[in-house]
Chains A and B, each alone.
Chain A
Amino acid sequence: MADQKMDQVRNFCIIAHIDHGKSTLADRLLEKTGVYQKREMVEQILDSMELERERGITIKSKAVRMLYKAGDGKEYVLNLIDTPGHVDFTYEVSRALAACEGALLVVDSTQGVEAQTLANVYMALEHNLEILPIINKIDLPSARPDEVRSEIEEVIGLPADEAPLISAKAGIGIDEVLEQIVRAVPAPQGDPDAPLQALIFDSFYDNYRGAICFVRIVSGTVRAGMTIRMMNSGARFEVVEVGARSPDYEPLAELRAGDVGYIAASIKDIHDTRVGDTITDDANPAAEPLPGYRAVVPMVFCGIYPADGAQYENLKDALEKLQLNDASLTYDPETSQALGYGFRCGFLGLLHMEIIQQRLEREFDLDLITTAPSVIYRVHKTDGTMEEVDNPSNLPGPASIDYMEEPYVSVSVHTPQEYVGALMEVCQGKRGEFKDMVYEGQHVCLHYDIPLSEIIFDFFDQVKSRSRGYASYDYELTGYRKSDLVKLDMLLNGDMCDALSMIVHKDRAYARGRSIAEKLKDVIPRQLFEIPIQAAIGGKVIARETVKAMRKDVLAKCYGGDITRKRKLLEKQKEGKKRMRQLGSVEVPSEAFMTVLKMDE
């Protein structure tokens, strides 16, 4: 490997719309190059997490090295870098793309170009990647490869006359794909003798070896025994091993400029291996880190509580374990009057939040109650100090607040022209501030500044539904802006329920209060007494609904002496109530806490 000439290395990724066959193609490439024997193949090797496989999305990126003897008789090293596929992980995707020279663009020949295809293409183009269109699923009866070929040319503007027609599933055309990678993806460049610059595009925690970094060597060479330095964090480590996955970890003598591989350096804390950081040689450091580093910070927070209070310790252990592998997840203990002991958790975005919740529930078998997500608000107090608040319950009293600020993001929405109007409405409805609109062939890119708190509600769903799935977006935190915010409280039977409080823009408070009260009225079952549900700002009630008292709940006939059956019916009723939380005098089902999330104002 060390002798492998740089011009015999190809670093590439695969981009595709969901379900267009990205993972299947990856499997075929691995199989064809002998990384996996066919019979050993578990389908879709790269998406190894159960959740990923189920949702058909890649959450964490990974890199696999393949050896391929090309038609020209030379043996090439092909590094396939898999990329995560969701807006929450935009930054991780951008680092993975920065590690490549080329991208395979998989398009389903029965579906054609779709929204996500475009968003991915835009990102790949931003990183100056050579894009190779590939037309997949040609074995299906409804395939229309010629149409799709011209669609790629017209809609995306990429020449597609050489696009291989393949079926990843049936293994058709895979050789041609490999040949094209060799032919069309540029070989990496870089000076192996220059000071070391290695871009971390992924990292994960191994119980035995500590945090392991996946890197692209941009310049220089790294080998075991060297002392390396993380240029942005400053942390130093001694390299224990370098190598590449193929698919197991295979140690190599060194990684040189142009190579993709891993570095193990007994790193205890995954936070020292931040994606985007540059690794250099401590003895002979590079003049500057590679561009584009961004500390990934959680932007969305919510309370996570065990449905059964006795599970608190288990939840804590589970979060600890997940954090080992996920530097962007944060958690701190918090207490809620309504929900007891739990954790305030920070996430990159809503999908990240959902993934963590689901992993907690599945992998750790926990039953959770999740509160509405919040962003970090800046509260400037009358005494001149500033507090950051990510939990509405911690908001200081109105008298001590001078003014508040909320985070804004710059959002780019990519869409076919026909949905521009609808999407502008969505953005405006989210308190968005129009920046500009750029025409890109058949497509338009809308730029808006929007409060992050609006994005985390149902922006994703709205963008998708108003564009029939064709539009996509990404966003970047731009900073804080002064905003007229209030704390909206919900009262159940007169008692404030802290877990349902939220910070909202004053203009939205009434509508949201009204809507939450209505939703709660629907999810809270009738109980033995009437329950007023009130939405209040400060001491002022702005909306009210009532759950009427239950008036009939009786098994009418009771003959024949079958008493056991009556008891069983009651027991069933009791079990049905297990997912209820007792808030003061009121029983509230767990899902009530999530309903405040699902807005449709």
Chain B
Amino acid sequence: MEKGSVYIHVPFCVQKCAYCDFYSLAGMSDSMAGYVDALCREIWMQAARFGEIRAETVYIGGGTPSLLEGKDISRILSVLRECMELSPACEITMEGNPGTLREAALEEYRKAGVNRFSLGVQSFSDCLLRTLGRIHTAAQAAEAVRMLRRAGFSNVNLDIMYGLPGQTESSFLETVGTALTMSPEHLSCYSLIPEEGTEMGRRVFSGEVQLPQEEVLLRMEEEMRGLLKQNGYERYEVSNYALAGKECRHNLVYWECEPYLGLGPGAHSDFGGRRFSHPANLRGWMQAINKKELFEEPEDDGSPEKRRFDRMMMGLRMVRGVDLNRFVRDFGRRPEEIWPDTVREMRRLSMIRDELGSTRSVELSNLSTDEETMPNDQNAATSELDPTRSDRMQSPGPDKEERLALTEKGMDVMNAWLVRMMEEEEKG
């Protein structure tokens, strides 16, 4: 039996947002029925291929999954249940655009088993929503949250963006404040990254619009974090905040580099020990699936060097950092043995958190281990990267979780560290 999460990509949108570089198609609603048929077929095919799959989380992302009818979601999830084992506590998330929600459909989604809803609000400023090319207004977004609540969703995420062209600090904080009044269980607050090939990228790179200065961005983040913390939202990843126990388990699968199976065109998988993806091509995918052919290409050679780097690249995004016991188990050595210079430098610049070993501020009922059994946290922390005391670090108790995590400052410049690690490894 393969354990893993399932991601389903729904590549349909009413309109392409200016910043979006995910695979999605506007004006293709005619293809939705065919898509759902093919998707169900693919679930069958993949299940046959991998044998029994036990899924802890399912994520229906996009695109705009809320364009699908209740019956579509219901059908997809029932096929999933037929072909795979969804654990009783399975987190089933669905994404939606506030401009597309219908109360009746929401209720059907929930009845079908969706137990977490992620709403793409982005901003509560109508002006910025227009800049982003969103199809909804701030009022619609607020109404969407109320609709979700009425439909019985008790685990809701709101996506919020900052660092937008023309966005001021106060306008962003107003959006955060408005979001807080809606008491979502989870908030994703991410800064705009202009991507090549998007309308926003074109505007930014051509100088047509300007993004807020770094100092402004840093102030936005600082204020936002303060506000969220006061309201009980704990940061657990670079741009994710949640009330206790409401962390998104599906995304944690990515960050922990646990296996996941991606379905639908443009979806990525790390499953059965390999990384592969479906080309971002709806037609091609549908034709292949209907011919009972797999439509995928390998993503990399899956070498241990790449794997262990991925583990750091993804793991360091989390506040709790990388699980060192598992790292050593999988790769034979500790990060400071693989990248001694980089890790030493991170430490010198105080970019590694000092209370290592006790950093499990994120406590997920199903993922955390028993913290109370660890004596003298402080001591364990300071010895973490000190080779002279490595005897202590190398023999952590079997039930003792040991993690390598970045400080807040370190997380802000994570890419620079990762590039340093790549360079160090290249130099040998």
Contact = CB atoms under 8 A, between A and B. Distances in A.
B268 A554 contact: no
Contacts of A560: 7, 9, 22, 61, 262, 267-268
A528 B345 contact: yes
A560 B267 CA distance: 7
B238 A556 contact: yes
A573 B419 CA distance: 7
Contacts of B419: 570, 573-574, 577
Contact of A528 (B306, B349, B423): B349
Contacts of A570: 313, 415, 418-419, 422
A528 B196 CA distance: 26
B112 interface: no
Given A528-B345, A551-B412, A561 B7 contact: yes
Nearest to A578: B423
Interface string A566-577: 110011011001
A439 interface: no
A564 B409 CA distance: 25
A563 B414 contact: no
A567 B193 contact: no
- Which residue, B217, B268, B314, B415, has most C-beta atoms of chain A within 10 A? B415
B238 A567 contact: no
B251 A562 contact: no
Given A552-B214, A562-B268, A570-B418, A557 B239 contact: yes
A555 B260 contact: no
A561 B260 contact: yes
A563 B314 contact: yes
B7 A553 contact: no
A438 interface: no
B44 interface: no
Contacts of B239: 556-557
A528 B193 contact: no
A573 B415 contact: yes
A398 B254 CA distance: 62
Nearest to B159: A557
Interface string B297-328: 00110000010011001100100000000000
Contact of B412 (A527, A554, A573): A554
Contacts of B48: none
Contacts of B418: 570
Interface string B228-268: 00000000001100000000000100110000101000011
A527 B270 CA distance: 33
A355 interface: no
A400 to B, nearest CB: 39
Nearest to B317: A558
B416 A557 contact: no
B313 A554 contact: no
Contacts of A557: 190, 193, 239
A557 B217 CA distance: 16
B262 A561 contact: yes
Interface in B174-198: 190-193
Looking at A528, A561, A566, the one whose CB has the most chain B CB atoms below 10 A away is: A561
Contacts of A553: 412-416
Interface in A542-596: 550-564, 566-567, 570-571, 573-574, 577
Interface in A161-203: none
B2 to A, nearest CB: 16
Contacts of B251: 559
B422 A551 contact: no
A555 B351 CA distance: 17
Contact of B218 (A527, A551, A562, A573): A551
A529 B345 CA distance: 10
Interface in B133-156: none
A562 B277 contact: yes
A558 B238 contact: yes
Nearest to B348: A529
Question: Dominant SS at the A interface?
Answer: loop
Interface string B39-76: 00000000000000000000001000000000000000
B61 A559 contact: yes
A563 B218 CA distance: 26
Contacts of B214: 551-552
A558 B423 contact: no
B218 A552 contact: yes
A556 B193 contact: yes
A555 B193 contact: yes
A554 B314 contact: no
A564 B270 CA distance: 10
A556 B21 CA distance: 14
Contacts of B218: 551-552
B309 A567 contact: yes
Contacts of B275: 563-564
B269 interface: yes
A561 B270 contact: yes
A555 B268 contact: no
Contacts of A571: 422
A567 B310 contact: yes
Interface in B322-352: 345, 349, 351
B92 interface: no
A28 B238 CA distance: 70
Contacts of B314: 558, 563
B411 interface: yes
A554 B238 contact: yes
Contact of B190 (A556, A561, A563): A556
A525 to B, nearest CB: 10
A563 B270 contact: yes
A554 B411 contact: yes
Interface in A508-538: 527-529
Interface in B406-428: 409, 411-419, 422-423, 426
A170 B281 CA distance: 55
B32 to A, nearest CB: 20
Contacts of A556: 190-193, 238-239
Contacts of B317: 558
Given A556-B191, A559-B61, A562-B277, A551 B349 contact: no
Given A527-B416, A559-B251, 6 more contacts: A529-B349, A551-B412, A556-B238, A564-B268, A566-B313, A570-B415
Q: Which 10 pairs, one residue from A and one from B, show the smallest C-beta to C-beta distance?
A: A556-B190, A564-B299, A553-B415, A561-B268, A553-B413, A553-B416, A556-B191, A562-B268, A574-B422, A554-B414
24 contacts: A527-B416, A528-B349, A528-B416, A553-B412, A553-B415, A554-B411, A556-B192, A556-B238, A556-B239, A557-B239, A560-B61, A560-B268, A561-B7, A561-B262, A561-B270, A562-B277, A563-B313, A564-B300, A567-B313, A570-B415, A570-B418, A570-B419, A574-B419, A577-B419
